[in-house]
């Protein structure tokens, strides 16, 4: 399936939004409360993964 530039950009925006939500809802609360460092680490990993995926999609969008 070939996606248009606009579709790739929108998917990239969605991935960036997912990253921000996971940072705000998973990572930050556990860092502030220092209750569970493994969940905080998981939140950071999810956040970074979605940000990287978003950047990869933007880069692919530029090469089309």
Give the tens place of pLDDT for each residue, 1-56. Answer: 788 999 999 999 999 999 999 999 988 887 788 777 888 888 899 999 999 999 99
Residue-level pLDDT at 12: 95
* Whole-angstrom distance, CA of residue 44 vs CA of residue 16: 13
Tokens of 6: 């606009």
Q: Which residues of 45-55 are buried (b: 16+ CB within 10 A; e: fewer)?
A: ebbeebbebbe
């Amino acid at each position: 399936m070939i996606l248009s530039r606009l579709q790739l950009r929108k998917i990239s925006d969605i991935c960036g939004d997912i990253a921000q939500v996971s940072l705000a809802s998973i990572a930050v609360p556990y860092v502030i409360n220092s209750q569970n460092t493994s969940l905080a680490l998981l939140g950071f990993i999810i956040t970074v993964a979605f940000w990287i995926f978003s950047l990869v999609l933007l880069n692919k969008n530029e090469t089309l």
